[in-house]
Amino acid sequence: MDEFTIGLVGTLALLLMVFAGVRVFIVAALVGMFGTIAIIGWKAGAGISGTVPHSKSINYALGVLPMFILIGFIAYHGGLTHALFRAARAWVGWVPGGLAVASVFATAGFAAVSGASTATAAVFSRVAIPHMLEHGYDRRLAAGVVAAGGTLASLIPPSAILVIYAIIVEESVGTLILAGFLPGIVSALIYALLIIGQCMWKPELGRAIPSPPMSERMASIPGTIPIFVVVAVIFYSMYSGTATPTEAGALGAFVVLVVALVKGMKWGALKEALLETAKLTVMIFALIWGVLIFVRFLGYAGLPQAFSEFVVALPFPPVVVMIFILLGYAVLGMFMDAIGMLLLTLPVVHPAVIALGYDPIWFGIIVVKMCEVCLITPPVGLNCYVVAAVRPDIPLGDVFRGIGPFFAADVVTIGLFLAFPEIVLWLPKLVNS
């Protein structure tokens, strides 16, 4: 059996076991190790499989990952999230579907310090849904807007998935973080316009609330300042070149910790934030270790190069090939989590996309946006399960029905990014010029 055939057999075995429910990091590590051994022999294969996780995980850039995760958990357990919803409600609650629109902007604000989509969905299932239901909002809309709004954390920096993409394809973490900012805002605005349009068409879905006096609006702003300070610290330190992304993440974590302590964060809440950060970080690193072994196996088998040559040789325009690639991600995302999907596909897909002439930073934002779509796509729409778990009074079926319009909005957003790449690339070019 030649190397290429071994690669195909290994990939098929991995997919079958993943769809059977075996953990991705276990399958990837085992298939990668035994496949490498089959190609280059026991001694060399076992040695490489044993050293790759360590040699790659000591990468300095990986340090940004736990820092971004820590920022989100401290912000949540430190009680910095309720102020975002109160401020958004005061300023935009008067539009049709105002509380739902406020939920979108509040989730976007929290995403700017969180980086974890499921955490964002869980937080606002507790914060925003009760207010919407209290004002007579349709529960499908209320659940759908929180599940979809939570996905913004995948795109709006600091984003753990963007960091993982940068590490896998060896692109600049800082450039990707900058690139995600404007597309994240565009996504939030499209969600808001969708909600306003829905509620103008069917007012019973969610009515506007009375506009509060200007004094009340202004009074809601100070509570949001800590969030914006953290965002400003992270972006300015990277923009000015005074800090690497890892240092900016550590600085942001320090700032949000100081703010949370000043606001009265107790030891129990801090301990919980640290434990949840450690658990999520270990889970992500385990995925990275396992998949890195599998990636090395794919390299020995020659699959990335073969796939790249096959894609480039297709008799279709590059944009058509790109659409098919994105459709493949949409289907795969129905059955896999976002991080595992990226880790398993990028080593093969990324070289092909570059060979087609696409910008790797632009593709990173596009593929992370696809991960957002997968977070609300049945049967494994993780954010929908989170909302249903936090709100057992809303059946899972209602949650999935509620995200239908937001899925359509995401398709429109991805179409915009395909048609106008400058939406993604403008800010990185501005900073790097």
pLDDT tens digits, 152-171: 888 887 777 888 888 788 88
* Whole-number Å distance between alpha carbons of 262 and 92: 29
> Could you give the percent of the chain with pLDDT greater than 90?
23
Query: Residue holding tokens 């239901």?
Result: 133
Mean pLDDT of the chain: 85
- Supply the pLDDT for residue 303: 77
pLDDT value at position 197?
95
- Element holding 141 (H helix, E strand): helix 139-150
Which pLDDT score is estimated for 194?
95
Q: Return d(Cα 302, Cα 3) in angstroms, integer.
A: 7
Q: CA-CA distances (angstroms) from residue 238 to 153, 235, 241?
A: 19, 5, 5
Q: How many angstroms separate the CA atoms of 233 and 231, rounded? A: 5
- pLDDT > 90? residue 144: yes
pLDDT at 199: 94
* Of 76, 124, 193, the residue nearest 386 (C-alpha): 124
Rounded to an integer, what distance in angstroms lies between the CA atom of residue 233 and that of residue 310? 45
For the stretch 277-280, contacts whose Cβ atoms lie closer than 8 Å and that sit 24 or more positions apart, written own/partner, are: 277/66, 277/69, 277/70, 277/73, 280/69, 280/116
The enclosing H or E element of 45 equals helix 42-57
More confident residue, 101 or 50: 101
Closest by Cα among 346, 376, 377 to 364: 346
Contact 6, 39 (CB under 8 A): yes
What pLDDT, on the 0 to 100 scale, is given for residue 406? 94
Summarised one tens digit per residue, pLDDT across range 284-343 is 788 778 877 887 888 788 877 777 777 777 788 988 889 988 988 887 777 677 777 787
* CB atoms closer than 10 angstroms to residue 191: 27
Interatomic CA distance for residues 272 and 269, integer angstroms: 5
Output the six-digit token pair for 102: 């406020």
Reported as a single tens digit per residue, the pLDDT across 170-219 is 888 788 888 998 999 999 999 999 999 999 999 999 888 888 888 888 88
Q: Is 214 exposed, middle or buried (0-12, 13-18, 19+ CB in 10 A)?
A: exposed
Which sign, positive or negative, has the C-alpha torsion 3, 5, 7, 9? negative
Q: Do residues 425 and 432 touch, judged by C-beta distance below 8 A?
A: no
The pTM (predicted TM-score) of the whole model is 0.83
Domain-wise residue ranges, the chain = 61-265+302-432
Instruction: Please count the other Cβ atoms lying within 10 Å of the Cβ belonging to residue 94.
Output: 14
Query: Do residues 143 and 399 lie in contact, with contact meaning Cβ atoms separated by under 8 Å?
Result: yes
Cis peptide before 158 (omega within 30 of 0): yes
Judge whether 131 and 85 are in contact, CB under 8 Å. yes
**Distance from chain centroid for Cα 319:** 24
Check residues 54 and 345 and name the one with the higher pLDDT: 345
- pLDDT (tens digit per residue) in 208-230: 888 888 888 888 888 888 888 88
pLDDT, residue 428, reads: 87
CB-side neighbour CA atoms (13 Å) of 74: 27
Contact 75, 227 (CB under 8 A): yes
The residue to which tokens 């990091």 are assigned = 25
The per-residue pLDDT for range 58-81, each reduced to its tens digit, is: 766 677 778 877 887 888 787 777
Q: Is the pLDDT of residue 424 over 90?
A: yes
Q: What angle do helix axes 42-57 and 267-301 make, rounded to 10 degrees?
A: 140
Instruction: Give the DSSP per-residue string, 152-172.
Output: GGGTSSS-HHHHHHHHHHT--
- DSSP letter for 391, please: -
pLDDT in tens, 2-45: 788 888 888 888 878 877 777 777 888 888 899 889 998 888 88
Cα torsion for 356, 362, 365, 370, to the nearest 10°? -30
Instruction: Report which DSSP code applies to 316.
Output: S
